[in-house]
Amino acid sequence: MAAVLGLKPPDRLPQPERKAAGRRSPLLPPPSLEEVLGAEPHFLSDGVRRAFEARAAKPPQYGYSTDTLVGRRQILQLAHDTLTNQSSRTEYDRALSEDRDAALTLDVAWDKVPGVLCALQEAGEAQAVLAIGEHLLEDRPPKRFKQDVVLAMALAYVDISRDAMAASPPDVIRCCEVLERALKLLQEDGAINLAPGLLSQIDETLEEITPRCVLELLALPLDEKHQIERQEGLRGVRNILWSVGRGGIATVGGGFSREAYMNEAFLQMTSAEQMDFFSKTPNSIPPEWFEIYSVALANVAQAIVSKRPELIMMADDLFEQLQKFNIGSQYAYDNEMDLALERALCSLLVGDISNCRIWLAIDNESSAHRDPKIVEFIVNNSTIDQQENDLLPGLCKLLETWLVSEVFPRSRDTRGMQFTLGDYYDDPKVLSYLEMMEGGGASHLAAAAAIAKLGAQATAALGTVKSSAVQAFNKIFPLIEQLDRSAMENPNDGLEEPVSKFDQKNIMGFDIHDSKNAALKIVCASALFALLTVIGLKYLPRNKVLPAIRSEHESMTVANVVDSVDGK
């Protein structure tokens, strides 16, 4: 006896409808009658009957037409009758062993096709539902017919989203992608009123998982193959962070605060991308302390990468803005010492050793800027002699360790980069800029030459700095204790581990035989995603909103940096 689900069109259909109904992907074998009922192949008549009664007792909740519900019931009844009658089951088993596709093909009346799709979706044949449904929609079917097809396809997408989140690790990008397709289908193809509850659940789920999806897009490799996906991630970050309330008070979906989410996003962005984001943020969203500080470090990283010391001056301007607004009071060290280290090292990067020493108060023991631990670090890493710059090796080691420990790990393009101070100071573009400083800048050039000459004596390839130097640096750099370094060194940990630990039953764990539960439980991860906030908050200082300081000139400069990087 022939079976059900190949959708062979009856001869009486108009040609376009026959074409649509008859198409089927050869890669998608139809489900067996047992699968249609949710029964196992070894079930005897009683087991088949119980499976049929269970399936028939739970009709789909969402807005199918009467014709579709009748068609679904007829398919279930046919499967039941075939498998519970000894002679018909014997014939079915024989036909199945000889030609599976032929055995599972039956003429289906046109108005019963949506009922078949409904049964296919309940049987877990999501890909078959989508393949057949797409072909049917191409032929512009009648409105009610189309709505039933769209509803079956939307539920199939929901099934796929559940499977994506049940994977190990969960495929958040895939889940988000298919739910967006389901939402678009329901919104654009006239099925909104059929399943308002399903539409609402999909929309709420997307609101919760989209922030994590965007982070995973940003975390994709920095190669041409993934460029489109990462650009989508960058647009997503802007849409999310530019739509929440000011001051970091409003939460982002998934339980993130604005600060925590921006910090995680920045860790997956290049230095140029961070600068571009900052420069293009609307002036109606005032920058906060952590944002300005992060972008200042991004300027330093990009200056090293592109050999553009003018970006060091921009970073120094940002640090100066933070000092002017007296933001450092939120930390547990004196205000007058705030950001002195950063400004000192910015001075050193443009060859201004004198200003570097002033900021560090090396020669002024009574200065509020002087930190004995920093001075001790410099001295311990220098060979003292009678030369004017006898502490230069220690200053270079301080600079190098700051770059390795604090600056480079914050950007994708500098994390793990091989680097020596000599490569930077001996670059023609850097030397040309230093020459223009202060009407010729002989002192800056001399400092650059001295640092470059130190070469291997005072610098080392990135990643080979002695652990003792880093440990000593951690003791004297105040912000190190405020930030969780492990996430910068292992940026992907935050994207995989929290999600993989979710209770999959709570996320997507609904009975595949229960369409009502399937729709209501799609990716129910709101509370669990909130756990991610704890990770993000470990990085950040308390909130402090600053007046807008994004000047027109700065925006143009940063845009030029991004363009120059993209053009490489």
Locate 14 and state its tokens: 């108009």
pLDDT over 90 at 53, yes or no: no
Which residues, in sequence order, are bridge partners of residue 105? 5
Most confident of 226-240, 319-333, 463-477: 226-240
Average pLDDT of the segment spanning 407-436: 89
Question: Residue type for 362, please?
Answer: I
Q: 395: helix, coil or strand?
A: helix
Portion of the chain with pLDDT greater than 90, in percent:
29
Helix boundaries (H) for 42-192: 45-56, 66-84, 86-98, 100-103, 113-122, 126-138, 143-166, 172-188
Residues 6 or more apart whose CB falls under 8 angstroms from that of 100 comprise 29, 30
**Are the beta carbons of 230 and 218 closer than 8 angstroms?**
yes
d(CA 286, CA 550): 9
Span 506-526, pLDDT tens digits: 333 333 334 434 333 444 333
Residue 438: per-residue pLDDT: 61
What distances in angstroms separate CA 341 from CA 328, 346, 385, 473, one per listed residue? 13, 9, 24, 11
Find the range with the poorest average confidence among 95-109, 185-199, 279-293, 363-377. Answer: 95-109
Residue 479: per-residue pLDDT: 43
d(CA 469, CA 412): 24
Question: Residue type for 559, please?
Answer: A
d(CA 401, CA 418): 13
Span 399-409, pLDDT tens digits: 999 999 999 99
Span 464-474, pLDDT tens digits: 444 444 454 45
Average pLDDT of the segment spanning 204-213: 93
Average pLDDT of the segment spanning 264-282: 95
Locate 563 and state its tokens: 């363009």
Locate 433 and state its tokens: 């800029």
**Are the beta carbons of 511 and 518 closer than 8 angstroms?**
yes
In this predicted model, which residue has the larger pLDDT, 295 or 289? 295
- Residue 455 — pLDDT band, cuts 50, 70, 90? low
User: What's the chain's average pLDDT?
Assistant: 73
What distances in angstroms separate CA 426 from CA 300, 324, 423, 453, 481, one per listed residue? 17, 33, 6, 9, 33
Query: What is the pTM for the complete model shown?
Result: 0.72
CA dihedral over 199, 205, 209, 210, signed as positive or negative = positive
Find the range with the poorest average confidence among 18-22, 220-224, 423-427. Answer: 18-22
Neighbours of 355 (CB within 10 A): 16
Q: To 10 degrees, the CA torsion angle through 439, 367, 373, 316?
A: -40
In this predicted model, which residue has the larger pLDDT, 184 or 515? 184
pLDDT over 90 at 502, yes or no: no
Left if phi > 0, otherwise alpha if psi is -120 to 50, otherwise beta: which for 269?
beta
Residue 409: per-residue pLDDT: 95
Helix boundaries (H) for 268-362: 271-280, 289-306, 310-324, 340-349, 353-360
Most confident of 19-28, 244-253, 386-395, 458-467: 386-395
Most confident of 188-192, 295-299, 354-358: 295-299
Average pLDDT of the segment spanning 306-325: 92
Question: Residue type for 93, please?
Answer: D
Q: Of 353, 333, 435, which Cα lies nearest the Cα of 398?
A: 353
In this predicted model, which residue has the larger pLDDT, 261 or 29? 261
User: How long a stretch of residues is the chain?
Assistant: 568
Span 123-137, pLDDT tens digits: 888 998 999 899 888
